[in-house]
Structure 1
Amino acid sequence: MMDGREFVASLVAGGMAGMCVDLTLFPLDTIKTRLQSQQGFYTAGGFRGIYAGVPSAAIGSFPNAALFFVTYECTKSVLGPRVSTNKAPFVHMIAASLGEMVACLIRVPTEVVKQRAQACPSMGTYKVFIDTIRQEGILGLYRGFGSTIKREIPFALIQFPLWEFLKALWSWKQNHAVDSWQSAVCGAFAGAFAAAVTTPLDVAKTRIMLAKTGTTVASGKVLPILTNIWKTQGIPGLFSGIAPRVTWISLGAFLFLGTYDKVHTLLL
Structure 2
Amino acid sequence: MPIPGPNELPLYSGTYDCAKKTVTKEGIRGLYKGMGAPLSGVAPIFAISFFGYSVGKKLQQSFPDEKLSTLQLFYAGAFSGIFTTAIMAPGERIKCLLQIQHADAKPKYSGPLDCAKQLYREGGLRSIYKGTCATLLRGIYTICKKLNID
TM-score, normalised to structure 2, is: 0.72
Contact 2:77 2:143 (8 Å CA) reproduced: yes
Deviation at 1:200, TM superposition (A): 2.0
More displaced 10-residue stretch of structure 1: 139-148 or 168-177: 168-177
Structure 1 residues 241 and 170, CA gap change in structure 2 (3 angstroms): same
Query: Partner residue of 1:215?
Result: 107
Deviation at 1:171, TM superposition (A): 5.3
Larger Rg: 2
Give a deviation string over 1:84-133, Cα, whole Å, max 9, x none.
xxxxxxxxxxxxxxxxxxxxxxxxxxxxxxxxxxxx89643222122122
Q: For 1:248, which of 135, 138, 149 is the aligned residue?
A: 138
Query: Partner residue of 1:157?
Result: 47
The aligned runs of 1:1-268 (5 Å cut-off) are: 123-167=13-57, 170=60, 173=63, 175-213=65-103, 215=107, 217=109, 219-220=110-111, 222-254=112-144, 256-259=145-148
Q: Distance in 2 between matches of 1:169 and 1:240?
A: 29
Deviation at 1:216, TM superposition (A): 6.0
Q: Distance in 2 between matches of 1:153 and 1:208?
A: 22
Look up the SS of the partner of 1:173 in the other structure.
coil
Q: Which amino acid aligns with 1:215?
A: P
Q: Distance in 2 between matches of 1:121 and 1:251?
A: 32
Look up the SS of the partner of 1:243 in the other structure.
helix
| Structure 2 residue runs without a partner (length 5+) | 4-9
Q: Distance in 2 between matches of 1:183 and 1:157?
A: 18
Q: Distance in 1 between matches of 2:97 and 2:86?
A: 18
Structure (1/2) with the larger helix percentage? 1
Aligned-residue Cα RMSD (Å) equals: 3.1
| Structure 1 residue runs without a partner (length 5+) | 1-42, 46-119, 263-268
Q: Distance in 1 between matches of 2:64 and 2:47?
A: 27
Look up the SS of the partner of 1:211 in the other structure.
coil
Q: Distance in 2 between matches of 1:121 and 1:136?
A: 15
Deviation at 1:150, TM superposition (A): 2.1
Contact 1:187 1:257 (8 Å CA) reproduced: no
Q: Distance in 2 between matches of 1:258 and 1:44?
A: 37
Structure 1 residues 151 and 208, CA gap change in structure 2 (3 angstroms): farther
Look up the SS of the partner of 2:41 in the other structure.
helix
Deviation at 1:237, TM superposition (A): 1.6
Q: Which amino acid aligns with 1:145?
A: M
Report the identity percentage.
22
Contact 2:119 2:127 (8 Å CA) reproduced: yes
Deviation at 1:235, TM superposition (A): 3.1
Q: Distance in 2 between matches of 1:122 and 1:181?
A: 43
Q: Distance in 1 between matches of 2:65 and 2:43?
A: 32
Look up the SS of the partner of 2:37 in the other structure.
helix
Deviation at 1:228, TM superposition (A): 0.6
Q: Distance in 1 between matches of 2:101 and 2:20?
A: 17
Q: Which amino acid aligns with 1:125?
A: T
Deviation at 1:192, TM superposition (A): 2.5
TM-score, normalised to structure 1, is: 0.44
